[in-house]
Structure 1
Amino acid sequence: MRKLMMFMVAALWWIPAQATVVAADRPAEYLPLLADKNVALVVNQTSRVGDQHLVDFLLENDVNVVKVLAPEHGFRGDAGAGETISDAVDTRTGLPILSIYGKTKKPSAEMLAGVDTIIFDIQDVGARFYTYISTMHYVMEAAAEQGLAMIVLDRPNPNGAYVDGPVLDLEFQSFVGMHEIPLLHGMTVGELALMIKGEGWIKAADELALTVVPVSDYQRDEAYALPIAPSPNLPNAQAIQLYPSLCLFEATAVSIGRGTEFPFQVMGHDEVPLGEFSFTPRSLPQSAPTPKLQDQQLYGVDLRKSEVRGFDLSLLLEAHQAFKEAGVTFFTAPDFMDKLSGTDKLRKAIEAGQSEAEIRASWQPALTQFKQRRAPYLLYP
């Protein structure tokens, strides 16, 4: 077991049972660490202390916030997936907003000039390809290299009950998959931060002064409804539950509802009907400016009331079979499929006609090893 001596983790096992309280709502645990510090924030619209944005809360409590580092979807969460984030000034506070999504994903020394402490507080959804954990990786590395303290304010993982899917092969490492973890890793961002440091997945890992403020009264398998949508195309709990199963369709010809009022809750195609439900993707400036199969009437499956949870591989296998029988290309972006999967073995197994049981059996040894590897970093029962 790796030593965690350098980690400052506020353990709360002695508190009696009560409602789950996210770390941001426990200011007594982190405000003392910010006294006389120049603070940079990595935050978005989910970074709330009650009904107030963390930025506003810290300023009201005399914390010297000097800048905001904006991830994918932007500081206020209104930019589309993959849309470049530009530097700006927050009109409410006058704080400079520096983009760390686009050309610059790792904060530079210039961007961090004058900063003593970085706070990361963003709601994650527990899937490896959800890019906020990649942003956290780069921010941690920059903090380590610049000798800055880093505080992660933890939040529950709404898919925390599941550890499933292929473990990433570093040959396929990218911004949508940076770590040797499964597609569904079952960890919070705080736990992942501990693992990233402890496993030496960033440069100068031993130099990083990392503090994780945990959620109180939380178990990873309990249902947790997010109070704020974590990104424009995950508008509700159903989309968040379906996201791990449907995101791989981004590398295929199939639409998963971008450009509709129910993204990541349906699937369909114009030439290969996957069901009787019909929908038509339209251009939606804030969430899907140019959606796949735009303005085409598609036929498929409405999953808004489905019980799909975790990683449902059968959806991918059945759709692939339908396309194969129709003679239409399914994997329209095979390289992207391999990056999302973290391996080319899943795509090749599907193309070879392997069964779901065969495919799942192939990644079980790596999942077992991962569970053992992550054990020292877990904060919650």
Structure 2
Amino acid sequence: MMLDLRWTAVFAFAILLISLDEARSQGLSASTAAPVGMQTERLAAIEGLMSEGISQGRLPGGVVCFGRQGEVMYLEAFGNRQLGDAPEAMTVDTVFDLASLTKPVATATSIMKLVENGELLLRDKVVDHLPEFAPYGKDEITVQDLLLHESGLIPDNAMADYQNGPEVAWEKICQLKLVSPIGERFRYSDVNFIVLAKLVERVTGKSIDVFSQDELFAPLGMDETGYNPPESLKHRAAPTQKRDGDWMRGEVHDPRAHALSGVAGHAGLFSTATDIAVYAQMMLGNGSADTADGEARVLSPATVSKMTAAYRVSSGIRGLGWDKQTAYSSNRGDLLSSSAFGHGGFTGTVLWIDPELDLFFVFLSNRVHPDGRGSVNHLAGKILNVVVSSLVEQPRRVTHDVQPGIDVLLSNGFRALANQRVGLITNHTGRSADGTSTASILQSAPEVALTALFSPEHGIAGRLDHSNIANTKDDQTGLPVFSLYGETRRPTPEMLAEIDTLVFDIQDIGTRFYTYISTMGEAMVAAAEAKKRFVVLDRPNPLGGLNVTGPMLDEGKESFVGYTRLPVQHGMTIGEIAQLIRAEHDLDLDLEVIQCQGWQRSDSWDETGLTWINPSPNMRNLTQAFLYPGIGLIETTNVSVGRGTDTPFEAVGAPWIDGRELARHLNERELPGVRFVPIQFTPDASKYSDQLCGGIQIMVTELDQLNAVRVGLELATALHQLYPDDWQTKSLNRLLGNDQVYDSITDGDDAMTTWMKSLSGVSQFRASRPQYLLYE
């Protein structure tokens, strides 16, 4: 007779509370009731999945543990840790060979500890600390290249290289040749982490086992974590396979780590589920965790953020030492957020940590026992899906510590511009995350010759608001500044004569008719004609990369305020648009986009950690940027959109508008995320300067629900309905760029009809857009 699932869950948690004594001894608080914010009944499926996996021979047994909000919420052992004539039941305190979990937990974390201590820079060349590593082109490999597996090194060198001890093994590694260009291809490599462990040893004088114990595990109270576990732990270690006729039990399974006396950067660490839970909670706690002795901080929040940011590599997204979304991610399941980071180990170990869900998941097994044929990655992913789907709370918004393209270029040692004469198209928004201008960075960069600057609309300082800007000289760098918003809007052959590569670094605003897109497009055409390289230092789309809203620009209506056929809100970065322009304008152009690090398509500007810089004189805050795609549509008509006030694009009015009437009409539409307040205002510039205007203030109440283009179209239909004799629409289509939508407004269609017509063609654009996208 089958028990009701509710009672199954009760019994499971009764067992869980007993096993959580181990968690309490580690300083983690233990749940004394059903997990907060979770559907307990769903968790009963874990037992079934584990039982099925064990019966299929995928593993002899394992331990599943997860937690959130500072608590271990589930800790359970399944099956056996040893099979054969003397079987042993799996227990929650079983000690496991973590295999490649060693990479992030011990080695990468130790490296990041040295970074925050000022003993290493991620852009340091390995040979700066290990000069003997230089032969065969390895002198350009950086610390970050190793952490991201972009070093160009072989995944594993021959076992014969390790047969004569650690010193000879290191000599053999120093003689390795590259198998791919540095920084171009992700190639998962144990050698990378063997080198990183050697770095720790050379910089600190301590081997990786001693340093990680002293600086990480001991402060966190992780007393059952380390290399070469003592006899007191070996008796409850899970055996793996046989070596020389004896079970490897508390002895590292990886043959190269074994040849290195059990201490290596890629493998060799042993631990328990509850110890790994402490480590995971430290990462969720931005570098600190509660222990039996009080709070312990082993990393700074900035270090954790840097380590777990999203770094684009050739096969997906990685963190520094962590997997995020690559071909190695089959154990992550399908439901974690894009912020999640984790890793797996060959012996059957899995760790995933998700800051947005405030969740950690530990799956430890000895799947290689007894014959090496087990397989657990998909099983772990299925169980993780069950865990995540049981959550009933909304994910929390997190800051992703985004680095714009200039920071990435700097961290990569300016490889993309080495030995190049560079012209930089930029303005005041071209800055690194710490506020240093891109022009200053490139001027001081080794092997880069910055020869000229180019400025877009509003000039190099972003302060001018007129239509003809002259060439000038930059006070900071002393370089000439060629205006691309004056006598010409395209670089001339004379301007490009002493340039090898044009670099573009300007913050776009995510709206089709913002002219920085056009400046880039014209410069790309000039570069293609002159056979110059073109490099875009990419930046986030402040509005995020998910919302794509029409109307589409009609074919034949391309102009400087509509350079290429895009919807009004395109959801693309400037680098992605560059790829689209090259393809759709059929440019024979050597284009390279230096991608942002850490930006995800779901991120709006407030989630990037970057400082907001007004990109133009009348774009003064993020709220205005979000409203601009809709309110900007109508500014070519005879209404004020707040220019000449402190709140451009947050106010709309005219002397002939009754603010109370217009606000009432729009509020009755119950548009998501926005409300309208009747106001009076007097602009001191632009339209209706020094004239009293009636109108509305636009209040954004729920940013996630706002669709600014729909607000703009609703406002247009309201103006036509309420003020047909006063509102002049002859210039409305200049920025709208869509005859069907223009006719719908001027013919008096209702707002919903106009909105639906504005979506025409957007689905086709969405279908073609992915080929140009660079971010998940």
TM-score by length of 1: 0.89
1:254-306 Cα distance to aligned partner (Å, 9 max, x none) = 101101111111011112223330111103xxxxxxx0000001111112555
Q: Does 1:140 align with 2:524?
A: yes
TM-fit CA distance, 1:222: 1.7
Q: Report the CA distance between 1:11 and its aligned residue.
A: 3.2
Give the AA of the match of 1:140: M
Give the one of 289, 294, 303 matched to 2:698.
Answer: 303
Letter in 1 for 2:720: H
Alpha-carbon distance between aligned partners in 1 of 2:445 and 2:598, rounded to the nearest angstrom: 25
Q: 2:534 aligns with which of 131, 134, 150?
A: 150
- Indicate whether 1:193 and 2:569 are aligned: no
CA distance in 2, matches of 1:349, 1:178: 24
Amino acid across the alignment from 1:322: L
The aligned residue for residue 317 of structure 1 is 717
Q: Does 1:79 align with 2:79?
A: no
CA contact (8 A) 2:741 2:757 kept: no
Computed over aligned residues only, the root mean square deviation of the Cα atoms, in angstroms, reads 1.9
Quick check: 1:14 aligned with 2:327? no
Query: Are positions 1:342 and 2:342 aligned together?
Result: no
1:113 has 2:497 as partner: yes
Matched, 1:173 2:173: no
Change (3 A) 1:30 1:364: farther
User: Do 1:137 and 1:196's aligned partners in 2 also have CA atoms closer than 8 Å?
Assistant: yes
2:618 matched to 1:236? no
Q: Distance in 1 between matches of 2:720 and 2:413?
A: 49
Match of 2:603 among 217, 222, 239: 222
How far apart in 2 are the matches of 1:169 and 1:103?
A: 28
* Distance (whole Å) between structure 2 residues aligned to residue 72 and residue 165 of structure 1: 25
Q: Deviations over 1:90-113 (max 9, x none)?
A: 122210000111331111111111
Matches within 5 A, 1:31-110: 31-49=414-432, 50-62=434-446, 63-80=448-465, 82-110=466-494
Q: Spell out the pairing of 1:251-270 with structure 2 (5 A cutoff).
A: 251-270=636-655
Q: What amino acid sits opposite 1:14 in the alignment?
A: R
Decide whether the 8 Å contact of 1:280 with 1:297 is kept in 2. yes
The residue type paired with residue 752 of structure 2 is A
Instruction: Give the secondary structure class of the aligned counterpart of 2:635.
Output: helix
Q: 1:278 aligns with which of 656, 677, 680?
A: 680
Equivalent residue letter for 1:310: A
8 Å Cα contact 1:317/1:350 also seen in 2? yes
User: What is the DSSP-based 3-state SS (H/G/I as helix, E as strand, rest coil) of the residue aligned with 1:300?
Assistant: strand
Kept in 2: contact 1:274–1:322 (CA 8 A)? no
| 2:61 equivalent in structure 1 | none
| Contact residue 429 and residue 506 of structure 2 kept, 8 A | yes
Residue in structure 2 matched with residue 3 of structure 1 by the alignment: none
Q: How many residues align?
A: 357
Counterpart position of 2:202: none
Corresponding residue of 2:350: none
Query: Match of 2:495, SS?
Result: coil
Aligned to 2:757: 362
Rounded Cα–Cα distance in structure 2 between residues aligned with 1:267 and 1:34: 46
Q: Which has the bigger relative contact order, CA under 8 A and spacing at least 6?
A: 1
| % identical aligned pairs | 36
Cα distance in structure 2, aligned partners of 1:172 and 1:34: 36
Distance (whole Å) between structure 2 residues aligned to residue 30 and residue 105 of structure 1: 32
Give 1 or 2 for the bigger CA radius of gyration.
Answer: 2
Q: Which residue of 2 aligns with 1:329?
A: 727
Question: C-alpha separation between the residues in 2 aligned to 1:48 and 1:236?
Answer: 17
Question: Are the equivalent residues in 2 in contact too, given 1:70–1:85 (CA < 8 A)?
Answer: no
Deviations 1:106-163 (A, max 9, x none): 1111111110011101111111000000111001111111011111011111223321
Contact 1:162 1:310 in 2 (8 A): no
C-alpha separation in 1, matches of 2:708 and 2:728:
23
TM-score, normalisation: structure 2: 0.45
SS state of the match for residue 170, structure 1? Answer: coil
**Per-residue deviation at 1:30?**
6.7
Bigger drift between 211-220 and 12-21 goes to 12-21
Rounded Cα–Cα distance in structure 2 between residues aligned with 1:162 and 1:322: 30
| Partner secondary structure for residue 119 of structure 1 | strand
Task: Tell me, yes or no, if the aligned pair for 2:550 and 2:760 is still in contact at 8 Å.
Answer: no
CA distance in 2: counterparts of 1:281 and 1:364, whole angstroms: 34
1:192-221 Cα deviation digits (max 9, x unpaired): 11111122x15xx1x210000111122222
Q: Distance in 2 between matches of 1:255 and 1:53?
A: 34
Structure 2 residue aligned with 1:245: 630
**In structure 2, how many angstroms separate the alpha carbons of the residues matched to 1:78 and 1:218?**
28
User: 1-side partners of 2:539 and 2:727: how far apart?
Assistant: 40
1: distance between equivalents of 2:756 and 2:526?
A: 38
Q: Secondary structure at the match of 2:481?
A: strand
- Local SS of the residue matching 1:251: coil
**Amino acid aligned to 1:113:** A
Alpha-carbon distance between aligned partners in 2 of 1:267 and 1:98, rounded to the nearest angstrom: 35
Gaps of 5+ in 1: 1-7, 284-290
Contact 1:159 1:310 in 2 (8 A): no
